[in-house]
Amino acid sequence: MLDVVKKQLENFHKNQPEFHQAVQEVFEDIHDFYTDHEIYERFAIAERMIEPDRIIQFRVTWVDDSGNVQVNRGWRVQFNNAIGAYKGGLRFHPSVNESILKFLGFEQCFKNALTGMPMGGGKGGSDFDPKGKSDLEVMRFCHAFMEELHRHIGPNIDVPAGDINVGTREIGYMFGHYLKVENQFQGVITGKGPNFGGSCGRTEATGYGCIYFLEEMLNAHDQKLKGKRVIISGAGNVALHAAEKAIAEDAKVLCLSDSKGLLYFKDGLSDKDLKEIKVIKTQNHGALKDFKGTAGEYKSGAEPWDIECDIALPCATQNEVDDKEAKKLVKNGVLAIAEGANMPLTAKAQDIVMKAGVIYGPAKAANAGGVAVSGLERTQNAEMRSWPLQRVDQELREIMKDIHKRSIEHIERNKEGVYNYRKGANITSFKKIADTLVAYGVK
Ligand code: NDP
C-alpha cells in the first residue's frame, strides 16, 4: 500500500512536499491496520483518500489605496465530504500554495473525524499578504475573495472558517459580502462576530482546547500542568489563547514569538502583560517588539526551542520545529509537546521526540478544539440560538476528553509507558472515513 501511495504522490502531486509529508505520515501509521482489512485494498481506499474531491482556483482582483489594481490567487480545496459538509479554515499568507492547502485539507479530514462531529475536510485561502495593508484594503480584498467563493459554499456544502491572518475582522468582511450577494442569512462560515451568529468561545477554542488536550495527556501519564514551564511559539490566535489558559491552570509561560522575534519572560508571563500583547497583535496588528512592559526581554530573530522547559507548544506554522530544534528540546528534558499549529514538527523532528519518550500530541488531536467549536457554531446557527460561554467551554472540555479517548482506542502504551497519540489518532480517524467510503460503494 505504501508503494502505491508513494507512486500516486510522485506521479500526480509533483513538487508538493508539504502534501507528501502529511500523507506519508498518516499512511505509515495506518499501514498494518490497512493491510489487516482486505476490503480497504479492494475498494482502493488509500488511492481515493489522497485525491481531493475537487480544487477550485480563482483570481482575486481588488484595488489598493493608491488606486492600483492588484491580482491575487484564491483557492478552496474540497478534500473529502464522506462524513459531513467540507469544513476547514481560510489562510491568507504569501506562502499559500496548492501543496500547503492540500496538506491542510487532508489533515483536516482526519482532525474533523476525530472530533466525533459530522464534518468533512477542506481548506482554502490566498497568497494575499495582509501585512502592511490598510483596513480598507483588507476589506476590499475580502469582498473580492468572497465574490467568487460564495458560489462554492453553503451550510450543507462547505463551511469555511479562519486560519493564519484570517480572524474576526476578515470573517466579518467575508460574511457581510456573502450576505449581500446571496441575500441569505445562514451559517455559511464560522468564527463570526457574536452579533451575527458567531459562537461565544470560538476565538479562544483552539488555544484553550490545546491546553485541555495537553492536560488529558499529562493525566494519562500521571503528570499535572500546574507549575510546569511552558514555551509557546507564535503570538496569534492559537498561541495567545493557549498562553491564557496555561496561565489560568497555574503553569509558567516563558515565551511567545512572532515572525520577527521572541519575547522571553524569565519569571513567567503575567495576565496583565498578556493583555497588552493581545492589544498589540490583535487590535493594532503590530509586532512583539512593540511590547513596552519591563518583564519581557525581546530577542530579534530568536525562536523558543532552546529555552529549558517542561512543555513545548508550537503554535505558529508548519515545519517550524526541525530535527535540530527537536534535539534541543529533548536535550533540555522536555516532557510533553502539544501541537497548536498544523504540522509544526517535521517528520524527522517527530521521530526524534517520539523515540526519546516525549509525550507528543499531534495537531489533528491537540488543535481540534477550534473546528469543534466551529461545529458547535453551526449547531447554534441551525437552531437559531446562541449558547452562553460557560456551556460552550464545558462542551469543548468534554470534546477534548473524548478526542483523547478516541486517540488511544486502537493502541497500547509503548514499553516506556507512553502512548503514541499520532498513530492512535490516525487509525481512529482513518477507520471512520474509510468505513464510510466502503459503505457508500464506489463513488
Ligand atoms: P495567526 O495568524 O493568528 O497567528 C500566527 C502566528 O504565527 C503569528 O504570530 C505569526 O507571526 C506567526 N507565524 C506565522 N507564520 C510564521 C512563520 N513562517 N515563521 C514564524 N512565525 C510565523 O494564526 P493562528 O494562530 O490562527 O494559526 C496558527 C497555527 O494554528 C496555524 O498552523 C493554523 O493552521 C493552526 N490552527 C489554527 C486554528 C484557528 O482556530 N485559528 C485552528 C487549528 C489550527 P506574525 O504575527 O509576525 O505574523
Q: 54 CB under 6 A from ligand 1?
A: no
Q: Is the pLDDT assigned to residue 2 strictly greater than 90?
A: no
Q: 258 CB under 6 A from ligand 1?
A: yes
Pocket test for ligand 1, best of 100, 115, 237 (most atoms within 8 A of CB): 237
Q: Say which residues have a Cβ less than 8 Å from residue 14's Cβ, sequence separation at least 6.
A: none
Q: 187 CB under 6 A from ligand 1?
A: no
* Mean pLDDT, rounded, for 75-98: 98
Q: How far is the CA of 316 from the centre of ligand 1 (A)?
A: 4
Angle 188-61-196 from CA coordinates, rounded to 5° = 25
Q: 14 catalytic, yes or no?
A: no
Q: 234 CB under 6 A from ligand 1?
A: yes
Q: How far is the CA of 96 from the centre of ligand 1 (A)?
A: 13
Of the candidates 18, 23, 21, the one whose C-alpha atom is nearest the C-alpha of residue 48 is: 23
Pocket test for ligand 1, best of 257, 258, 284, 305 (most atoms within 8 A of CB): 258
Indicate the pLDDT class of residue 65, thresholds 50, 70 and 90. Answer: very high
Q: Is the pLDDT assigned to residue 443 strictly greater than 90?
A: no
The DSSP annotation for 2-44 comes to: HHHHHHHHHHHSTT-HHHHHHHHHHHHHHHHHHHT-HHHHHTT
Q: Please give the number of the atom of ligand 1 that sits closest to the Cα of 344.
A: 32
Q: Is 163 helix (H, G, I), strand (E, B) or coil?
A: strand
- 219: left (phi > 0), else alpha (psi -120 to 50), else beta? alpha
Q: Is the pLDDT assigned to residue 294 strictly greater than 90?
A: no
Q: Is the pLDDT assigned to residue 31 strictly greater than 90?
A: yes
Which H or E run includes 107? helix 98-114
* Mean pLDDT, rounded, for 256-272: 97
Q: Say which residues have a Cβ less than 8 Å from residue 143's Cβ, sequence separation at least 6.
A: 62, 173, 174, 176, 177
Q: 164 CB under 6 A from ligand 1?
A: yes
Q: How far is the CA of 4 from the centre of ligand 1 (A)?
A: 33
Of the candidates 434, 364, 440, the one whose C-alpha atom is nearest the C-alpha of residue 406 is: 364
Indicate the pLDDT class of residue 5, thresholds 50, 70 and 90. Answer: very high
Q: Whose CA is nearest to atom 29 of ligand 1?
A: 341
Q: Say which residues have a Cβ less than 8 Å from residue 405's Cβ, sequence separation at least 6.
A: none
Pocket test for ligand 1, best of 259, 279, 280 (most atoms within 8 A of CB): 259
Q: Are 236 and 228 in contact, with CB atoms under 8 Å apart? A: no
Q: 236 CB under 6 A from ligand 1?
A: yes
Q: Which of 87, 102, 111, 123 is catalytic?
A: 123
Cα 277 from Cα 291, distance rounded (Å): 7
The DSSP annotation for 389-423 comes to: HHHHHHHHHHHHHHHHHHHTTT----TTS---HHH
The DSSP annotation for 267-333 comes to: T---HHHHHHHHIIIIIS---GGG---SS-EEEET--GGGS--SEEEE-S-TT-B-HHHHHHHHHTT
| Fold category of 2-186 in CATH | Rossmann fold (3.40.50)
Q: Please give the number of the atom of ligand 1 that sits closest to the Cα of 166.
A: 2
DSSP state of 113: H
Cα 96 from Cα 145, distance rounded (Å): 15
- What distances in angstroms separate CA 361 from CA 101, 405, 425, one per listed residue? 22, 13, 9
Q: 238 CB under 6 A from ligand 1?
A: yes
* CATH number of the domain located at residue range(s) 205-361 in this protein: 3.40.50.720
Give me the residue label for grid cell 519572560: 265
CATH 3.40.50.10860 in the chain: give the residue spans: 2-186
> Beta strands 120-126 and 359-361: pairing type?
unpaired
Which cell is 93 given?
A: 499568507
Cα 443 from Cα 440, distance rounded (Å): 7
Q: Please give the number of the atom of ligand 1 that sits closest to the Cα of 282.
A: 3
Q: 407 CB under 6 A from ligand 1?
A: no
Q: Whose CA is nearest to atom 10 of ligand 1?
A: 258
Q: Are 198 and 191 in contact, with CB atoms under 8 Å apart? A: yes
* Mean pLDDT, rounded, for 226-242: 98
Of the candidates 60, 33, 235, the one whose C-alpha atom is nearest the C-alpha of residue 144 is: 60
CATH 3.40.50.720 in the chain: give the residue spans: 205-361
Q: Is 207 helix (H, G, I), strand (E, B) or coil?
A: helix
Q: How far is the CA of 204 from the centre of ligand 1 (A)?
A: 14
Give me the residue label for grid cell 476547514: 88
pLDDT tens-digit readout, 369-427: 999 999 999 999 999 999 999 999 999 999 999 999 999 999 999 998 999 999 999 99
Predicted model pTM: 0.96
DSSP state of 223: -
Q: Please give the number of the atom of ligand 1 that sits closest to the Cα of 95.
A: 18
Of the candidates 159, 176, 21, 189, the one whose C-alpha atom is nearest the C-alpha of residue 81 is: 159
Residues of the chain with pLDDT > 70, as a percent, come to 100
Q: 339 CB under 6 A from ligand 1?
A: no
Q: Please give the number of the atom of ligand 1 that sits closest to the Cα of 233.
A: 7
Q: Say which residues have a Cβ less than 8 Å from residue 73's Cβ, sequence separation at least 6.
A: 57, 58, 59, 60, 126, 127
Indicate the pLDDT class of residue 32, thresholds 50, 70 and 90. Answer: very high
pLDDT tens-digit readout, 321-341: 999 999 999 999 999 999 999
Which H or E run includes 206? helix 202-220
